Amino acid sequence: MRAKEFIDHLSSFGYSVFPDANIMPELEVTRGPTLFVMGSASSSAERDLPIEYPSFQVIVKGENYKNDVHQMDKTEQLAKQVINDISTEIKEVIGQNIVYYIRANQSNPIPIGLDDQYRPVFSTNFSLKVQPIKEGS
């Protein structure tokens, strides 16, 4: 599964997701909570079956903590909601893949702290089990 397909899946839930994977540029302070997707180490593919195990890190940045001291909690709640929304064991098509499951590797998001613009940052890693859809199948 490509990172762009995972980004599109997150966006389908209504989240504001930065459109490019594997970069996290400094965005305007006025931009609301944003998710960033980074590719991460994955398990090897099955030898005998067309099954792959991609994984992605999702970083959630909230709004400025200095302007609203409740942003740390609000951002943690948003990161927890991402875990609940996209964790699934239902077979569904995402992009060019049949996805058998998406699971968070942690039950709670990992607090990273504040970025240089005082926005709270949380991280969660997701593991997937997918079967790429081949043309003509």
Q: Residue ranges of the domains in the chain?
A: 3-132
Kindly tell me if the per-residue pLDDT of 128 is higher than 70: yes
Q: Which residue type occupies 97?
A: N
Tell me how many degrees the CA angle 39-44-50 measures, rounded to the nearest 5: 105
Locate tokens 């903590």: which residue? 65
Over residues 15-41, the pLDDT tens digits come to 999 999 999 888 776 677 999 999 987
**Closest listed residue to residue 61, CA positions, set 102, 27, 10, 104:** 27
Architecture per CATH, 3-132: 2-Layer Sandwich (3.30)
Kindly tell me if the per-residue pLDDT of 13 is higher than 60: yes
- Amino acid 41: pLDDT: 73
CB burial string 51-87: b at 16+ within 10 A, e below = ebebbbbbbbbbbebeeeeebbeebbebbbebbeebe
Instruction: Supply the pTM of this predicted model.
Output: 0.89
Q: Report helix, strand or coil for 96.
A: coil
Question: pLDDT band at 136, cuts 50/70/90?
Answer: low
Mean pLDDT of 102-131: 95
Mean pLDDT of 72-95: 93
Indicate the helix (H) or strand (E) that contains 4.
helix 3-11
Over residues 63-74, the pLDDT tens digits come to 999 999 999 999
Mean pLDDT of 53-69: 94
